[in-house]
């Protein structure tokens, strides 16, 4: 294996062991199928007892690793556009050696007719590099969502040939995403596909633009502002159902009610909540970690905020103790919100858990279908409920532009009548 690949692999292992699982714990429960020649001076592959017995370890292709945690899974490591090491699961523990070798064969090169290949060519092109930085970030987000999106064929959308993309397929994709309560996201991806295929047609990568003529999702003109009674009912429901065992009928993620509280109190986006760590805990309050250029602020401690924060740390610490996971020394390495395996909760996992929870709440008649709202609407409710002047709300929200207050502050000002004089009252 080249030296660069060897270094990347070691950096990848370090990245995994830096998580709460710890180096010793990870080594005991997870085995990496090492490429040939990486096992020491003898040049032989080191035997790993955790690898499934039906796999001949001496014939394993290089660059494929086995994670023995849970039910076990095979994965690849690669670097993204920002040169960050990423991991992609490629098969479960039942995969055969032939299947793993086929995966390794396809790893080094995308099929030239696939959506992923078209997207890779577009993002490497000069036309893409000339786009504004924010547009490039937006397109990179769209690309990742699309090429990793699962399909009924058992492979991600990015592996499908571009010739299989028809307007009907793109329309179903848009409709499905919009039906999850995210029409803006659906339209975002639709605009990206239109641009991507138009670029591909002009440069000979594809023959048609299947996104052209597809109906956009209908976005809500009225920005949702959930009623306080609705928020309270959902928070209580999430708290009660979060106490049920995982997998039990009617259960929901135990962290959902905490995320709701922090999003409302601190006026945070979902991604900003799940990336909170112990380092954001200060003597004065919670130091926010806002995105999209917003200014950070410190939300002062008060009983409701303290209760939510302490509940999150108790849940996390109990989970780490139950799994015998070591506690990272640095506060910034201790995530506040964790998944069932003890690792930091991912935004995609939070979104999925939220949609399941909302569907459960509607089915249980906790709320009506027209009362459903997104996590982001809790930030809007928190800004609207902030007392004080418009400047006070601007400081609390972290927005740099007063124009953004029209999006988030839906309160109605109380103003005096014509000719009002304070001294006359």
pLDDT of 314-354, one tens digit each?
999 999 999 999 999 999 999 999 999 999 999 989 999 99
For residue 46, the model assigns a pLDDT of 74
Average pLDDT across the chain, whole number: 82
For residue 279, the model assigns a pLDDT of 96
For residue 415, the model assigns a pLDDT of 62
Query: How far is it, in rounded angstroms, from Cα 77 to Cα 210?
Result: 32
The answer on pLDDT for 172 being more than 90 is yes
- CATH 2.60.40.1250 matches 228-408: no
Which of these ranges, 4-8, 65-69, 220-224, 358-362, has the smallest mean pLDDT? 4-8
For residue 305, the model assigns a pLDDT of 96
For residue 38, the model assigns a pLDDT of 41
* Mean pLDDT score, 35-62: 68
Which residue has better confidence, 320 or 396?
Answer: 320
Every domain of the chain and the residues it spans = 1-108, 110-219, 228-408
Query: How far is it, in rounded angstroms, from Cα 124 to Cα 292?
Result: 24
Which of these ranges, 251-255, 351-355, 418-422, has the smallest mean pLDDT? 418-422
Q: Whole-angstrom distance between the N-terminal and C-terminal Cα of the chain?
A: 84
For residue 106, the model assigns a pLDDT of 63
33, with CB counted inside 10 A (0-12, 13-18, 19+), is buried
Which residue has better confidence, 172 or 80?
Answer: 172
pLDDT in tens, 193-213: 999 999 999 999 899 999 999
119, with CB counted inside 10 A (0-12, 13-18, 19+), is buried
Which residue has better confidence, 83 or 95?
Answer: 95
Confidence of residue 2 (pLDDT cuts 50, 70, 90): very low
For residue 79, the model assigns a pLDDT of 58
> What torsion do the CA atoms of 384, 386, 392, 396 make, to the nearest 10 degrees?
-90
Query: How far is it, in rounded angstroms, from Cα 163 to Cα 167?
Result: 11
Which of these ranges, 23-37, 113-127, 190-204, has the smallest mean pLDDT? 23-37
* Mean pLDDT score, 81-87: 66
Give the rounded percent of residues in the chain with a pLDDT score beyond 70: 79
Residue among 40, 43, 42, 85 nearest 65 (CA)? 85
Distance of CA 36 to the CA centre of its chain: 34
For residues 301 and 218, is the Cβ–Cβ distance under 8 A? no
For residue 151, the model assigns a pLDDT of 85
Confidence of residue 78 (pLDDT cuts 50, 70, 90): low
Query: How far is it, in rounded angstroms, from Cα 209 to Cα 197?
Result: 5
For residue 237, the model assigns a pLDDT of 97
Looking at the domain covering 110-219, what would its CATH class be? mainly alpha
E strands along 135-263, which residues? none
Residue among 175, 218, 219, 167 nearest 193 (CA)? 167
* Mean pLDDT score, 388-402: 73
Query: How far is it, in rounded angstroms, from Cα 100 to Cα 255?
Result: 36
For residue 9, the model assigns a pLDDT of 45
For residue 33, the model assigns a pLDDT of 42
For residue 330, the model assigns a pLDDT of 96
* Mean pLDDT score, 404-424: 65
């Amino acid at each position: 294996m080249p030296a660069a690949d060897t270094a990347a692999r070691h950096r990848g292992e370090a990245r995994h062991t830096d998580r709460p699982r710890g180096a010793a714990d990870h080594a005991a429960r997870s085995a990496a199928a090492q490429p040939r020649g990486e096992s020491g001076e003898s040049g032989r592959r080191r035997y790993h007892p955790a690898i499934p017995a039906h796999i001949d370890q001496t014939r394993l292709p290089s660059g494929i690793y086995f994670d023995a945690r849970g039910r076990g899974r095979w994965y690849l490591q690669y670097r993204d556009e920002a040169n960050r090491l990423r991991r992609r699961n490629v098969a479960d523990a039942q995969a055969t050696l032939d299947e793993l070798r086929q995966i390794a064969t396809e790893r080094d090169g995308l099929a030239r007719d696939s959506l992923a290949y078209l997207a890779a060519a577009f993002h490497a092109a000069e036309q893409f590099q000339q786009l504004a930085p924010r547009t490039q970030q937006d397109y990179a987000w769209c690309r990742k969502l699309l090429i990793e999106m699962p399909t009924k064929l058992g492979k991600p959308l990015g592996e499908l040939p571009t010739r299989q993309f028809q307007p009907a397929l793109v329309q179903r994709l848009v409709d499905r995403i919009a039906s999850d309560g995210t029409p803006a996201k659906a339209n975002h991806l639709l605009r990206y596909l239109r641009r991507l295929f138009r670029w591909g047609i002009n440069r000979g990568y594809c023959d048609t633009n299947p996104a052209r003529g597809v109906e956009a999702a209908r976005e809500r003109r009225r920005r949702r502002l959930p009623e306080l009674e609705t928020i309270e009912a959902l928070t209580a429901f999430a708290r009660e159902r979060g106490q049920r065992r995982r997998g039990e009928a009617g259960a929901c993620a135990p962290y959902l009610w905490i995320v709701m509280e922090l999003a409302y109190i601190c006026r945070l986006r979902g991604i900003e909540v799940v990336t909170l760590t112990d380092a954001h805990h200060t003597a004065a309050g919670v130091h926010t970690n806002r995105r999209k250029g917003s200014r950070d602020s410190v939300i002062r401690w008060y009983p409701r905020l303290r209760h939510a924060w302490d509940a999150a740390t108790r849940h996390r610490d109990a989970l780490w103790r139950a799994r015998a996971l070591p506690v990272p020394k640095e506060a910034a390495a201790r995530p506040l919100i964790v998944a069932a395996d003890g690792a930091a909760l991912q935004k995609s996992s939070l979104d999925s858990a939220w949609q399941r929870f909302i569907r459960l709440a509607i089915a249980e008649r906790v709320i009506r279908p027209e009362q459903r709202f997104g996590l982001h609407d809790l930030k809007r409710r928190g800004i609207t409920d902030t007392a004080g002047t418009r400047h006070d709300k601007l400081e609390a929200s972290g927005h740099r532009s007063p124009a953004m207050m029209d999006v988030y502050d839906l309160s109605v000002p109380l103003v005096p009548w014509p000719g009002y004089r304070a001294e006359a009252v």
